[in-house]
C-alpha cells in the first residue's frame, strides 16, 4: 500500500499477499501433514492445500530462473521421506471487490512482479518447468558451427548483433583471421568464449588500451600517448613499495599483511546492469560474487561492504523512461538483495554509502566489497599438468548467460526484454557450504578461482592459461536437461568455484565436500600442452590455443579529450537563513540517516565489529569508518569509504584526490594508522569511446595515482565498470556521473582505543584540523539552494593532510582525543551537527574557520577533522598537533547547537531533520 502511494497509484480497500508452494507428486494425507509442518509456521501463518477460488493474481518464476525456495522444499521433503517429483514457488495477491482491475495490474506490474524473471496470471497459475519436453539428446543440445571465414565488416557486425557479443570490429576481424588461418569454422562455444574473455568486464580493454591525447598542448597535429591506465595503477603501487602488500592486482583479490602471521584479502566489485533489470537478484549475486573472489584467494570471508547509487525515490511515474524500473523499486530490491545474502551466509555488512542522483535513475550502481583473513602462507602457484579440473558448488543452468557481455553493453529500452538469461539468482546457503568445504582444505588444491563472469569458460580458461586443459561438459552438474554445450560453458550460475587438484588429493576433497553437503564434479584435467579443449561426449566443441584466447585480442587504441576544469575562479555563495539551510542539508537524502537500511543488515554477526556503522547515545549516529577485530586480538582493521561523483562532473582529477582523502580520513577518524593503509579502486563510468568521457577517466586515474603517492597508500585491487549509459525513450544516451569509489582498509594498532564521532561530555573543547577554503563546485549546498552558472572550484588536494593525520593519530594513541568526525558532505556545519546528533549533546561554536560565514559552514574542503578534547588535555593535544589545530568552541549540556552568526538550533531539531530525510 505504501509503495503504491509513493508511486502515485491510488489504492483503497485491502490487499492480501500469500506465498504459494507448488508440489508435484502423489501425496497422501500423511505426506501433506508432514510437509505442512515445515512449510507453515503456526505462530505466524495459516496454510492450506486447497486451490484458491477467490479473485487474485498469482506470480511465479520464468523457466530457467533459479528458485532457491523450491530447492529448500525439495530438500525438506527428502529429509522427511515425502516422495515428491518436483517443487516450485510463487506468490498470490488478492484484492477486494473495490479494486479497479487496471489498478491491480499496475500494482503487480510496477511494484510486485518483474517480467525479466517472472510471469503472472489472473486466478491461478500453473508453474512452468524448464524445457520439460527436452532431454540430453534434444536438438537444442547440438553445437553450431559458424562459417566466419570471408565475412566482411558488415557480416561480422551482423554476427556480433545476432549473438550479442559486444565485440569491436577489430576484435571480430582478429577472430575471423585466426579461423581463416586454421582453415575451419568457429563453433558457437568458441565464439561465445572469446566474447566473454575479451569483454570489457573481463579483459579491462579500456584500462589496457593505448590512449592518445590529441592537441593536449595546443599544437596542431601533436599527439601525446598515455600509458595504459591499469599499468599506471600497478606502477603506482610498485613505486610506493609498502612492506605490508603481499599481492596486488593479481588473481581474485589483493592481499596485505598488517599483523605478522595473518593476511587480509580485499576486493570490491560492481553489479550495475543486472541490478537495473532485476534489483534483488543483481545485488544478491553481486554480494555472492565478491565473497567468492575472496574465497578464490584462499581466505575466509569476514565482512562485506556496499555502496549503492540510485535515482531520486520521489520521481514521478510520468518521468520514468520506457523499459526502466522505478528508482524506489530498484532501491528496495537492491537493499533486500544485499541484506538477504549477507544475513543468510552469516557475514556482517559493515560499511558503505547510499547516494541519490537523477542520473542513476535507469542505471543504478551497486558496489559490493568483501574482506577475508587467512593464516599467512604462500599463495597457490598451480595448476600443474596432471591436476584435475574440479567444479565445486551449485549446478549449472541458463541463468547468467552472456552476463559479462551484457555488463559491457549500453542499456536501452529493450534491455529488460532481452536480459532475462543474464539475470542470476543467488543461493547464499550453498555459498556457505562452499566456504565450509574450502576453508581448511588449502593443502588439497594447487589453484582456485571463482566461477563468475563468463562462467566455466572464464574460470577454467584463466586457470589454463599457459598450461592447457581438457574438459568434458557432460560431467558438469545441471539444474535441468536441454542446455546447449555453449550454454553450459558460458552459464554464470552462482555459487561455483573451480579448483585444480592433484589426483592423489581428489578423494580427500571429495569426502570433505560430501561431509558438508556441497556437490563436487571432476570434469577434466590440466594437460600442459597450452590448448583448451572442450568436449561434449565424443565431440570436440572447442579447441583454442590459450595464447590466442588471452593474448590474441588487439590492443585498443583510443582517443581522449582531456578536461580543462576551473581551478582558479572561486565563487562564493549567499544564504539568507543559514540555520534553515543546515536543517535542509541534514535532511538531504545523501546526508540523512541511513539507519533504516543499516538495520536491515546484521553488522555484528561473528562478534568482531568493534566500531559499528551506527554509534552514539541513541545508536543513530553515523560512524566515519568501522573497526573489526577478532575477540581475542588486540589489533584490528578499519574500513572507510570515499565517493563523491558530483565533484567529478566539474573536475575528475580533483574528485579522485578528494575521495582518496575521504576514505583515508574516515579510517584515521576511528583510530587507524595513516601510514598503514591499503586502497581499492572502483570506477563506474560512461562510454569510454566518447573522447571526453575517456579524458575524464584518464584524469581520474592521474588523480588516484598522485593521491596514493601523497598518502603513501598503495592500491591492491580494483575494478572498472564502463558503458554505464542508457538510451532513453527520447532516443538520447544518458550516462551516470563519473563515479569513483575508494575503499580504505587500515591497521588499527589497538582496538581498545578506537574513536567515534559522538560528543562525549559537556565542557570538552572542540578543535578543527585542516584549512577551510571557498570551494563549492559539486557541493551539497548547491544541491539545496541551487548551483550558480559559475559554480567555482572543486575542493583541492591538501598536501599537508598526511602529516596532519599522523599528528591526530599520535594524539589518539596518547589518549588525548574523546571523539573525532571528518568534515565531508555539507561542510563544517553538518559535521558538528552530526556530532551533536550522535552524542545528544550541544555545541557552542564561537570561532569560525573562515571569515565568510557560508564558506565557514558549508564549504567541503578536504583534509579536515573535528576533534573533541578534555580541557586537561588541551595543552598536550596542541603540542601533538604542532599547533595546527583551530579551537572552535566547546561541548555544552543545553542540547543546543549554537554557532556564532546563525540562529541557535535545538539538538532535537537536528535529529528530526536527520531522520526526516530518511523517509524520502
For the annotated catalytic residues, the residue numbers are 201, 271
Burial class (CB in 10 A: 0-12, 13-18, 19+), 26: exposed
Rounded to whole angstroms, the Cα distance separating 779 from 833 reads 17
Q: Max CA-CA distance within the chain?
A: 87
**Interstrand relation of 447-450 and 210-214 (parallel, antiparallel or unpaired):** unpaired
Q: What string of DSSP letters covers 293-319? A: HHHTTT-EEEEEEEEEEE--TT--GGG
Q: CB of 597 within 8 A of CB of 349?
A: no
Distances (CA, A) of 558 to 229, 555, 725, 740, 745: 12, 10, 19, 21, 33
Contacts of 551 (CB under 8 A, 6+ apart): none
Of 722, 654, 645, which Cα lies nearest the Cα of 684? 722
Alpha-carbon torsion (511, 514, 518, 522), positive or negative: positive
Q: Could you tell me the CA-to-CA distances from 451 to 247, 289, 732 in Å, in that order?
A: 21, 9, 36
Nearest to 401 by CA among 512, 495, 294, 490: 490
What is the C-alpha to C-alpha distance for residues 83 and 34, in angstroms, rounded to an integer?
A: 11
Closest to 409 measured CA to CA, from 201, 701, 197, 697: 201
Distances (CA, A) of 98 to 14, 18, 58, 101, 642: 9, 19, 19, 9, 50
Number of Cβ within 10 Å of residue 234's Cβ equals 18
Q: CA 833, 834, 839, 842: dihedral to nearest 10 degrees?
A: 0
Pairing between β-strand 388-393 and β-strand 614-615 as defined by DSSP bridges: unpaired
Q: Can you tell me whether residue 326 is helix, strand or coil?
A: coil
Q: Phi/psi at 719 (nearest 5 deg)? A: -160, 135
User: Are the C-beta atoms of residues 898 and 845 closer than 8 Å to each other?
Assistant: yes
Amino acid at each position: 500500500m505504501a509503495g503504491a502511494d509513493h508511486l502515485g497509484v491510488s489504492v483503497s480497500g485491502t490487499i492480501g499477499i500469500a506465498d504459494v508452494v507448488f508440489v508435484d507428486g502423489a501425496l497422501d494425507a500423511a505426506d501433506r501433514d508432514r510437509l505442512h509442518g515445515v512449510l507453515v509456521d503456526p505462530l505466524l501463518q495459516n496454510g492450506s492445500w486447497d486451490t484458491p477460488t477467490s479473485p487474485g493474481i498469482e506470480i511465479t518464476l520464468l523457466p530457467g530462473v533459479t528458485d532457491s525456495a523450491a530447492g529448500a522444499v525439495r530438500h525438506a521433503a527428502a529429509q522427511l521421506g515425502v516422495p515428491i517429483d518436483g517443487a516450485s514457488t510463487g506468490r498470490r495477491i488478492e484484492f477486494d471487490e473495490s479494486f479497479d482491475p487496471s489498478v491491480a495490474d499496475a500494482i503487480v506490474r510496477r511494484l510486485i512482479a518483474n517480467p525479466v524473471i517472472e510471469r503472472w496470471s489472473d486466478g491461478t497459475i500453473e508453474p512452468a518447468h524448464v524445457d520439460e519436453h527436452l532431454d540430453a539428446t534434444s536438438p537444442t543440445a547440438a553445437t553450431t558451427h559458424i562459417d566466419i571465414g570471408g565475412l566482411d565488416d558488415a557480416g561480422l557486425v551482423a554476427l556480433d548483433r545476432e549473438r550479442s557479443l559486444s565485440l569491436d570490429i577489430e576484435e571480430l576481424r582478429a577472430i575471423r583471421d585466426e579461423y581463416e588461418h586454421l582453415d575451419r569454422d568457429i563453433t558457437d562455444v568458441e565464439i561465445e568464449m572469446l566474447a566473454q574473455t575479451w569483454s570489457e568486464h573481463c579483459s579491462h580493454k579500456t584500462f589496457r588500451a593505448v590512449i592518445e591525447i590529441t592537441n593536449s598542448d595546443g599544437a596542431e597535429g601533436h599527439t601525446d600517448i598515455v600509458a595504459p591506465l591499469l599499468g599506471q595503477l600497478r606502477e603506482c603501487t610498485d613505486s610506493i613499495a609498502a612492506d605490508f602488500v603481499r599481492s596486488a592486482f593479481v588473481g581474485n583479490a589483493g592481499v596485505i599483511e598488517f599483523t605478522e602471521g595473518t593476511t587480509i584479502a580485499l576486493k570490491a566489485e560492481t553489479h550495475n546492469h543486472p541490478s537495473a533489470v532485476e534489483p534483488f537478484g543483481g545485488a544478491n549475486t553481486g554480494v555472492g560474487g565478491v565473497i567468492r573472489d575472496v574465497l578464490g584467494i584462499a581466505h575466509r570471508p569476514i565482512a562485506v561492504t556496499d555502496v549503492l547509487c540510485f535515482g531520486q525515490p520521489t520521481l514521478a511515474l510520468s518521468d520514468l523512461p520506457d523499459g526502466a524500473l522505478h528508482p524506489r523499486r530498484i532501491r528496495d530490491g537492491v537493499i533486500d538483495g544485499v541484506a538477504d545474502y549477507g544475513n543468510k551466509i552469516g557475514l556482517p555488512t559493515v560499511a558503505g554509502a547510499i547516494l541519490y542522483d537523477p542520473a542513476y535513475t535507469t542505471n543504478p550502481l551497486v558496489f559490493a566489497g568483501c574482506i577475508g583473513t587467512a593464516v599467512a602462507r604462500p599463495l597457490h602457484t598451480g595448476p600443474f599438468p596432471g591436476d584435475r579440473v574440479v567444479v565445486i558448488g551449485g549446478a549449472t543452468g541458463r541463468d547468467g548467460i552472456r552476463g559479462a557481455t551484457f555488463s559491457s553493453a549500453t542499456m536501452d529500452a529493450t534491455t529488460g526484454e532481452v536480459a532475462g538469461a543474464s539475470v542470476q539468482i543467488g543461493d547464499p546457503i550453498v555459498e556457505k557450504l562452499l566456504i565450509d568445504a574450502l576453508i581448511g582444505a588449502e593443502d588439497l588444491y594447487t589453484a582456485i578461482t571463482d566461477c563468475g563472469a563468463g562462467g566455466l569458460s572464464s574460470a577454467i580458461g584463466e586457470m589454463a592459461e599457459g598450461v592447457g586443459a581438457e574438459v568434458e561438459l557432460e560431467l558438469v552438474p545441471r539444474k535441468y536437461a536441454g542446455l546447449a554445450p555453449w550454454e553450459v560453458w558460458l552459464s554464470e550460475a552462482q555459487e561455483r568455484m573451480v579448483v585444480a587438484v592433484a589426483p592423489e588429493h581428489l578423494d580427500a576433497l571429495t569426502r570433505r565436500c560430501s561431509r558438508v553437503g556441497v556437490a563436487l564434479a571432476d570434469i577434466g584435467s590440466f594437460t600442459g600442452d597450452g590448448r583448451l579443449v572442450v568436449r561434449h561426449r565424443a565431440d570436440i566443441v572447442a579447441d583454442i590455443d590459450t595464447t590466442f584466447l588471452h593474448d590474441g585480442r588487439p590492443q585498443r587504441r583510443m582517443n581522449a579529450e582531456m578536461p580543462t576544469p576551473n581551478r582558479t575562479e572561486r565563487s562564493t555563495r549567499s544564504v539568507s537563513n543559514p540555520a534553515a539551510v543546515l536543517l535542509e542539508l541534514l535532511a538531504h537524502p545523501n546526508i540523512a540517516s541511513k539507519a533504516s537500511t543499516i538495520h536491515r543488515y546484521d553488522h555484528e554477526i561473528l562478534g568482531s565489529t568493534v566500531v559499528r556503522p551506527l554509534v552514539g547515545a541513541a545508536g543513530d549516529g553515523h560512524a566515519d569508518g568501522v573497526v573489526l577485530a577478532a575477540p581475542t586480538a588486540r589489533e584490528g582493521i578499519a574500513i572507510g569509504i570515499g565517493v563523491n561523483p558530483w565533484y567529478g562532473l566539474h573536475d575528475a582529477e580533483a574528485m579522485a584526490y578528494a575521495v582518496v582523502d575521504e576514505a583515508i580520513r574516515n579510517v584515521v577518524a576511528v583510530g587507524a594508522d595513516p601510514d598503514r593503509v591499503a586502497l581499492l579502486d572502483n570506477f563506474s563510468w560512461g562510454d569510454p569511446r566518447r573522447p571526453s568521457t575517456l579524458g575524464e577517466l584518464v584524469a581520474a586515474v592521474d588523480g588516484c595515482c598522485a593521491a596514493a603517492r601523497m598518502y603513501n597508500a598503495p592500491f591492491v585491487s580494483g575494478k572498472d565498470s564502463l558503458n554505464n549509459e542508457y538510451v532513453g525513450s527520447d532516443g538520447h544516451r544518458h550516462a551516470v556521473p563519473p563515479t569513483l569509489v575508494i575503499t580504505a582498509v587500515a591497521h588499527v594498532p589497538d582496538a581498545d582505543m578506537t574513536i567515534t564521532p559522538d560528543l562525549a561530555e559537556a565542557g570538552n573543547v572542540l578543535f578543527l584540523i585542516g584549512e577551510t577554503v571557498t570551494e563549492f563546485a559539486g557541493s551539497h549546498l548547491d544541491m539545496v539552494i541551487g548551483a550558480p552558472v559559475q559554480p567555482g572550484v572543486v575542493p583541492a588536494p591538501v598536501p599537508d593532510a598526511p602529516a596532519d593525520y599522523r599528528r591526530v593519530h599520535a594524539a589518539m594513541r596518547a589518549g588525548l582525543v574523546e571523539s573525532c568526525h571528518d568534515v565531508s558532505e555539507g561542510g563544517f556545519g553538518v559535521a558538528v551537527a552530526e556530532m551533536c546528533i550522535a552524542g545528544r549533546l550541544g555545541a557552542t561554536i564561537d570561532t569560525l574557520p573562515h571569515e565568510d560565514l557560508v564558506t565557514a559552514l558549508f564549504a567541503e574542503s578536504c583534509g579536515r577533522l573535528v576533534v573533541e578534547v578534555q580541557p586537561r588535555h588541551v595543552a598536550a593535544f596542541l603540542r601533538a598537533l604542532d599547533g595546527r589545530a583551530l579551537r572552535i568552541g566547546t561541548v555544552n549540556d543545553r542540547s543546543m547547537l549554537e554557532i556564532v552568526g546563525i540562529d541557535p538550533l535545538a539538538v532535537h531539531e537536528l535529529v528530526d531533520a536527520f531522520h526526516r530525510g530518511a523517509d524520502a
